Amino acid sequence: MSTRTDLSKIPSISGNNGYSLRCPEVKINGHEAHCSYTVCQHTILAYKEKRLPATSFQSCAAAIAAGKCQALKMMVEEIRKGEQLYFIDMSALIKEVEEQNDHARTLTRKRNTMTINSLVKRTKKTESAKPETTSTDSLAPVTDVYAALIEEATKENT
């Protein structure tokens, strides 16, 4: 078995890299696959280091051996330039989505929208000498709440 490659020499090999590419060598249902560049890089290294199982990534192994692998060409280009050319920082995208979600949560509620509190009927508890058993009738308001929430969510999505 050959030695492992020094990953510090490969600029964009990272779990945070969200860059993906269409690969003409990998087909899914007859169409080009959309592949993660980082997965391609690790597949190339596993092939080079003879760690790639014979039954895994067979089309990738054939493309690498034939010199048709697009990701291999991209890796060579990055290594020669010594910089990330094919890199999308996923941590930045995740932060952006989280900020959008926070903003959406802070928007004021639309007037006349249904809330859980508006659906729950409050009643005073009365103390009885004998503890009551829970019947299925007592679950009806909860079911109505969920049905109303689902209906409200459906209205908002249409």
Angstrom distance (rounded) from CA 5 to CA 75: 13
DSSP-H helix ranges across 29-81 = 37-48, 58-66, 70-81
Q: What is the pLDDT of residues 109-118, one digit of tens each?
A: 565 666 666 6
State pLDDT tens for residues 18-45.
999 999 999 889 999 999 999 999 999 9
When the pLDDT of each residue in the chain is averaged and rounded to a whole number, the result is 80
pLDDT, tens digit (0-9, with 9 covering 90-100), for 116-155: 666 666 666 666 555 555 555 555 555 566 666 777 777 7
Reduced to 3 states (helix: H, G, I; strand: E, B; else coil), residue 17 is strand
**Cα(74)–Cα(81) distance, integer angstroms:** 11
Secondary element (H or E) of residue 148:
helix 140-157
